Amino acid sequence: MPESKKGWDWEITSKTSYWGWSMREIWSYRHLLGSLVRRDFLLSYQQTVLGPLWILLQPLLTLVTYVLVFGKLVGVSTGNLPPVLFYFSGIVLWSLFSDSFGGTSNTFRDNAQVFSKVYFPRLIVPLAVTSTQFFRFFIQFVMLLLLIGYYWAFQDLPSPFSLITLAFPFAVICTAGIGLGLGLLFSVITAKYRDIAGTVTLGIRLFMYLTPVIYPLESLPEKYRWMVQLNPLTPLFELNRLSLLGEGTVTAGQLLYSIIFMIVVLSGAMLVFNKQSDKLIDVV
Amino acid sequence: MGDVVIEVENLSKLYRLGTIGTGSLRQDLQRWWTTSVLKQEDPFFQAHGTEALAANKQSILALQNINFKVNQGEVLGIIGSNGSGKSTLLKIISRIVRPTKGAVRGRGSVSSLLEVGTGFHKELTGRENVYISGYILGMSKSEIREKFDEIVAFSGVEAFIDTPVKRYSSGMYVRLAFAVAAHLEPDILIVDEVLAVGDADFQKKCLGKMRETSQTDGRTILFVSHSMQAINNLCDKALWLNQGKMMELGEVSSVVNKYIMGIQQFKLKQEWSTPAEAPGNDFIRFKSVELVPQLSTPDAPLDIRTPLTVKFQFWNMTDDVLLSTSLLLFSYGGECIFDVLSPASRCDKGLVEGECNIPGNFLNDGSYYFSIIVVKDTSVELYNYEECLSVDVEDYRENIQWYGKWWGAVRPKFPFRLHQKEMAFQQ
């Protein structure tokens, strides 16, 4: 029926495609994205005593725990760097990854009610979650800079900034991209098989120990280092530390590996998400 | 009126039943293997056809070969009992779910209003909710900003616009939510039963607004409601769905009449051929119960003027017993409206028949149900056949300017006179 297809603005059939979404449509919903980010902020801190201060308090409390447990009790080496800076730079980047991943992996389960009542590009929701995490990351990052400034001024930390500092945004974007990509992929899976959701939370937590967040890659015995190096996040976390604190081991080849991994996961996940999102409404 | 803006062609929707559990992963993998790797036909859909799949009870056909077209500026009412596929149809046209077969094509922008307050969050203020809900429903920032005052005025919650909506009364919440929706300006608007909430005044305001926009802006509206009055008032055409199939499509009043007749025929008679399967006990088994409306013409609606006859037959299992029967009428809320007793009659084993007439101009509009109790020796209850019949009585008013719900469980037409006794100030 090629004739009947002429002149229609839209058509809905059983076929969903990998390429069905358009940037223009997502752009037209940009205000929705903005207000979802705003909503997430308002909701997290409404009727709390400390309000938005929690954005800083959460990583600071984690920092205290790490300094006490891994620094003092277990005695994990942090190289030549002060443990506070070492842990905090890792925590900040790690929470960007884990919250982007964890937050987007429940997209369908958390929004089943709205998704079943109105159409809008579903991708807006995970994008909003990631944007929120970026915003939180930025605030925490400013805190990290203040800490670095303090150590530089009063604790004789040599100025850590150099040309390589310019690579920092790259590490951040790549990390968030991998988090979003994995989150999108798992949102499709958790929509169908609910028990996976619990596994995701646990998996992320365990995965942290395979990433040089609380230890430098260098401190690992040569024998086991390859295991951690297989993790595409490893070069990014080393780069993160190298660019901000001046200490970290990473090569261009390893970084290339991370980039390729991110591009493959993110674009693959977007395609799968796009193909599946309309079908999943029947299931959730 | 003119161009076709929506075309629904051969639309079917199949839902898989049962829980999605371990079985489904295996099925999914199996399906993926046959379709994607072996490039064969989908074993779950094409092999047997959707109808066969529905027949084996693994799934239900929520919609079956639906075909229709809607012209620009038309208001199409969709009617049908619960589970007839109305909501599924709206969800497919709104792009929320995908059909299993067939296609929907359209021109212009679509907004759907399947519930009141989509995107509302109780912790946020009224103002924030207006924006977020407006964005979700597809409005642009400038559009909302422009209409914000109008929306708030329409809802009548000006004083509370910066209060979290969790502190609103449910009426205020609904008003605000609906006010956002009422200011949508898509080419095609899809509305599902949302008028069921809110008070009567507000409903009227919303219906008026919808009617107005379809006439002045040439907006096309698809409208689902259980209220035949609302459908009749608002729509030009109606589509009647029953168990996923199209029953009628056409001019609104004729479809509505056929629908009312159709559901009545379905409910008004129950019959059993053998005592074994009939409802009852060792003493009494009902053979049939039937409600016969005395309609002036065969296709007239059953309304408050219609006299009704309740006919029933039962098998009496004991010889030489003094039987009488009670006919009870209940309102839909469960309140007993009357209990009429038949004269007692001495009966032997065999079939006993009874009949009771309820005059016209006695019941109010609304839903009622009947129970029949068979009594022995005018004192001992043998069998109470509860809720054996139900009836929907339609409203009818003549020369009355008032359209609200008529009060009371019954609306009898007692002799009532009103006349001028004397003129004032007249010598």
Domain parsing of chain B, residue ranges: 4-11+66-261, 18-57, 272-393
Q: According to the model, what pLDDT value does residue B41 have?
A: 56
Among residues B313, B301, B230, the alpha carbon closest in space to that of B263 is found at B301
**pLDDT tens-digit readout, B70-109:** 998 889 999 887 778 888 999 999 989 889 889 999 998 8
CA distance A212 to A234: 6
**DSSP H/E element including B369:** strand B366-376
**DSSP H/E element including A50:** none
User: For residue A191, what is the nearest residue in chain B, using CA coordinates?
Assistant: B20
Instruction: Select the residue of B16, B103, B123 nearest A43 (Cβ to Cβ).
Output: B123
| CB of B129 closer than 8 Å to CB of B158 | no
A226 — contact with chain B (CB < 8 Å)? no
Q: Is B247 left (phi over 0), alpha (psi -120 to 50) or beta?
A: alpha
Predicted confidence band of residue B20 (pLDDT cuts 50, 70, 90): very low
Q: According to the model, what pLDDT value does residue B398 have?
A: 79
Instruction: Select the residue of A4, A12, A118 nearest B137 (Cβ to Cβ).
Output: A118
Put simply, the answer to whether A39 touches B124 (Cβ < 8 Å) is yes
Give the domain range for residue A180.
Answer: 50-274
Class of residue B357 by CB neighbours under 10 A (exposed 0-12, middle 13-18, buried 19+): exposed
Q: According to the model, what pLDDT value does residue B321 have?
A: 93
**pLDDT tens-digit readout, B224-239:** 887 777 788 788 899 9
**pLDDT tens-digit readout, B358-380:** 999 999 888 888 999 999 998 89
- ipTM value of the model? 0.83
Put simply, the answer to whether A278 touches B92 (Cβ < 8 Å) is no
Put simply, the answer to whether A119 touches B141 (Cβ < 8 Å) is no
Give the sign of the dihedral formed by CA B379, CA B385, CA B388, CA B393.
positive
Rounded mean pLDDT, A256-276: 93
Q: Tell me if A74 is assigned to some domain.
A: yes
Q: Tell me if A88 is assigned to some domain.
A: yes
CA distance B179 to B182: 5
> What is the CATH topology of the domain spanning B4-11+66-261?
Rossmann fold (3.40.50)
Rounded mean pLDDT, A16-31: 79
List chain B residues with CB under 8 Å of A119: 94-96, 110, 112
Total domains, chain A = 1
CATH (one of 3.40.50.620, 3.40.50.970, 3.30.1280.10, 2.70.50.60) for B272-393:
2.70.50.60
Among residues A6, A21, A178, the alpha carbon closest in space to that of A105 is found at A178
The arrangement of strands across the sheet holding B59-71 comes to A10-12, B101-106, B4-16, B59-71
Instruction: Select the residue of B102, B106, B128 nearest A8 (Cβ to Cβ).
Output: B106
Q: Tell me if A107 is assigned to some domain.
A: yes
Name the least confident of A16-25, A79-88, B23-32, B179-188.
B23-32
Bridge partners, B101 (sequence order): B12
B46 pLDDT above the threshold of 50: no
B402 pLDDT above the threshold of 70: no
| CB of A234 closer than 8 Å to CB of A254 | yes
**pLDDT tens-digit readout, B103-143:** 999 998 888 888 878 888 888 999 999 999 999 988 889 99
CA distance B187 to A6: 19
Q: Tell me if A263 is assigned to some domain.
A: yes
**DSSP H/E element including B363:** none
Residue in the block written with tokens 């205000």: A31
**pLDDT tens-digit readout, B275-303:** 888 888 889 999 999 999 888 887 778 88
